[in-house]
C-alpha cells in the first residue's frame, strides 16, 4: 500500500502555513507520517569531474521535532522538499528470520549499502528487540565519523520513537533514518586509528564549552550522549576520538537559534 500525501503536497506547494500548522497540531505521529516522503534526498554524496565533492547532511526537521517544544511553521515547512518526494511502500516483515541472525548480519548489510535489505532487517530487529536494535545501531553509528551527523540523527530518531503507537507506525520514521544511514557514505578512519586512553572527557567538554557552541560541537555532543547512554565496552577508545575532535576543532559553522537551544539541552543531558 503506497503512502499518499496529495493534500499535504498541495499545502507544501502553496506554502499554506495555516493548514500546515493544523497538520502539525493534530499530533506528532500524524505529522511524522505526513512529512516522511518529503524529508530525504535522493543522494547524500556527489562527486564531479572537476574533483569537487559535496556531502549533504540529514534533514534537521527531525532534530527540531525531537528536541524543541516550540517551532515556527515557517521554519518547519522550509525543511520539506516537494520536488524530491520519495514514494515508499509499507516495509515488509521478515518474521521467519531469528533475532540472532538479524543482529549478526546487520553491520554487513550496512557496509554493502543495500537499502532494500537494510530497511527490512532493521524493522524486524526493532520489532523483535528494540533495545538490541538501539545497541547495535549505536555501535555502528559511533564507528562512523562524528561529522557524518549519523549520531545526531540517531538520537533524534530514538527520541521520536516515543510517539510510535503501534508496530506499523515505525515505518514512517525508520525509513528516513535508515535511508540516510545507508546512503550517506561511511568513514571509519578515526575509529580504526583511535587509542584506548584514560580521559576525563566530561571535564574536557565543559572546559571547552565556548569552543563547542557551533554545528561541529553539536555533533560532538550528540556523539558523546549516545556513547554515555550505551553499554559499549572500551569507551576510552571513543573518548580518544572525541578528544581529538575537540582539540582539532577550527572550522566552526554557526548554529541557528533553534540549534543553540538544542545544544543547551544536550549539555544539560550530559550534566545529568
The helix (run of H) or strand (run of E) holding residue 114 is none
- Residue 47: pLDDT band (50, 70, 90) is confident
pTM of the model: 0.92
Q: What's the grid cell of residue 180?
A: 540516510
pLDDT of 125 > 80? The answer is yes
Signed CA dihedral, 85, 72, 66, 188: sign only: positive
Per-state percent for the chain, helix, strand, coil, to nearest 5: 65, 5, 35
Q: Which pLDDT score is estimated for 134? A: 97
Q: What's the grid cell of residue 17?
A: 502555513
Please give the Cα distance from 39 to 62 (Å, whole number): 9
pLDDT of 266 > 60? The answer is yes
Tell me which residue of 195, 176, 186 sits closest to 141, measured CA to CA: 186
Q: Which pLDDT score is estimated for 46? A: 80
pLDDT of 272 > 90? The answer is no
Please give the Cα distance from 205 to 221 (Å, whole number): 8
Q: 122: burial class by Cβ within 10 Å (0-12, 13-18, 19+)?
A: buried
pLDDT of 216 > 90? The answer is yes
Q: What's the grid cell of residue 108?
A: 554487513
- Residue 220: pLDDT band (50, 70, 90) is very high
Residue-wise pLDDT for 60-81, tens only, equals 999 999 999 989 989 999 999 8
Q: Which pLDDT score is estimated for 6? A: 53
Task: Confirm if 28 and 43 have CB atoms less than 8 A apart.
Answer: no
Q: What's the grid cell of residue 116?
A: 532494500
Tell me which residue of 236, 135, 228, 117 sits closest to 179, measured CA to CA: 117
Q: Work out the angle at residue 220's Cα, subtended by the Cα atoms of residues 37 and 59, and round it to the nearest 5 degrees.
A: 10
User: 26: which DSSP letter?
Assistant: T
Domain boundaries, the chain: 6-183, 194-271
Residue-wise pLDDT for 79-117, tens only, equals 998 887 887 778 999 999 999 999 999 999 998 889 999
Residues contacting 93, CB < 8 A, separation 6+:
120, 123, 124, 127
Strands (E), the chain: 45-47, 53-55
pLDDT of 182 > 70? The answer is yes
Q: 137: burial class by Cβ within 10 Å (0-12, 13-18, 19+)?
A: buried
Residue-wise pLDDT for 157-174, tens only, equals 999 999 998 888 999 999
Amino acid at each position: 500500500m503506497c503512502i499518499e500525501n496529495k493534500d499535504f503536497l498541495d499545502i507544501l506547494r502553496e506554502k499554506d502555513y495555516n493548514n500546515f500548522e493544523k497538520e502539525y497540531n493534530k499530533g506528532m505521529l500524524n505529522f511524522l507520517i505526513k512529512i516522511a516522503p518529503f524529508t530525504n534526498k535522493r543522494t547524500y554524496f556527489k562527486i564531479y569531474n572537476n574533483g569537487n565533492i559535496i556531502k549533504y547532511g540529514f534533514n534537521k526537521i527531525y532534530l527540531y521535532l525531537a528536541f524543541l517544544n516550540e517551532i515556527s511553521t515557517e521554519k518547519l515547512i522550509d525543511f520539506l522538499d516537494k520536488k524530491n518526494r520519495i514514494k515508499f511502500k509499507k516495509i515488509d516483515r521478515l518474521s521467519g528470520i531469528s533475532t540472532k541472525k538479524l543482529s549478526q548480519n546487520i553491520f554487513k548489510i550496512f557496509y554493502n549499502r543495500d537499502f532494500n535489505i537494510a530497511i527490512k532487517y532493521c524493522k524486524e530487529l526493532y520489532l523483535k528487540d528494540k533495545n538490541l536494535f538501539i545497541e547495535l545501531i549505536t555501535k555502528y553509528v559511533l564507528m562512523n565519523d562524528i561529522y557524518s551527523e549519523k549520531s545526531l540523527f540517531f538520537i533524534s530518531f530514538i527520541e521520536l520513537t516515543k510517539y510510535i503507537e503501534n508496530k506499523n507506525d515505525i515505518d514512517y520514521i525508520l525509513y528516513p533514518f535508515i535511508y540516510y544511514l545507508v546512503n550517506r557514505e561511511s568513514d571509519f578512519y578515526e575509529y580504526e586509528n583511535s587509542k584506548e586512553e584514560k580521559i576525563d572527557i566530561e571535564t574536557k567538554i565543559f572546559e571547552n564549552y565556548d569552543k563547542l557552541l557551533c554545528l561541529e560541537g553539536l555533533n560532538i555532543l550528540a556523539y558523546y550522549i549516545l556513547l554515555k547512554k550505551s553499554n559499549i565496552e572500551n569507551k576510552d577508545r571513543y573518548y580518544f576520538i572525541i578528544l581529538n575532535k575537540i582539540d582539532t576543532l577550527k572550522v566552526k559553522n554557526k548554529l541557528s537559534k533553534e540549534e543553540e537551544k538544542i545544544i543547551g539541552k544536550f549539555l544539560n543531558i550530559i550534566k545529568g
